[in-house]
Amino acid sequence: QVQLVQSGAEVRKPGALVKVSCKASGYSFTSYAIHWVRQAPGQGLEWMGWINAGNGHTKYSQKFQGTVTITRDTSTSTAYMNLSSLRSEDTAVYYCAREGAARSGIDYWGQGTLVTVSS
């Protein structure tokens, strides 16, 4: 079965960087894109960017340009999300999620990783 398993909770100070991993299994990793979506406390879902796991091409939300970097390692079927210059407003649960087949939505999600930014 398809699974996306994310790394554990992180605590960082303002200005630091965090790296969250997302290990995929149960499907051909390079055949699907991976999104990163976050949810701040009391807020809705916010799309950050995605990566074509096959060719490594990325697209980011303008809001996160310059602070987020999404990469992947095909040898381990793992996607990564780096977020730099952290601020308290970046405190959120971060999800990786798989884009389904054409026009079929985001069909599988990781369990979420809580990132807390606090001095």
Partner 1 sequence: DIQMTQSPSSLSASVGDRVTITCRASQSIARDLHWYQHKPGKAPKLLIYAASSLQSGVPSRFSASGSGTDFTLTISSLQRDDFATYYCQQSYSIPLTFGGGTKVEIK
- Interacting residues with partner 1 (CB under 8 A): 35, 37, 44-47, 50, 59, 61-62, 95, 97, 100, 103-107, 109-112
Our CA dihedral for 47, 49, 53, 54, rounded to 10 degrees, sits at: 120
Q: Between 76 and 111, whose beta carbon lies closer to partner 1?
A: 111
CB of 16 to partner 1, least distance (A): 25
Q: Strand, helix or coil at 44?
A: coil
Residue 71 C-beta: closest distance to partner 1, Å: 18
User: Whose Cβ is closer to partner 1: residue 16's or residue 58's?
Assistant: 58
The nearest distance, CB 82 to partner 1, in angstroms, is 18
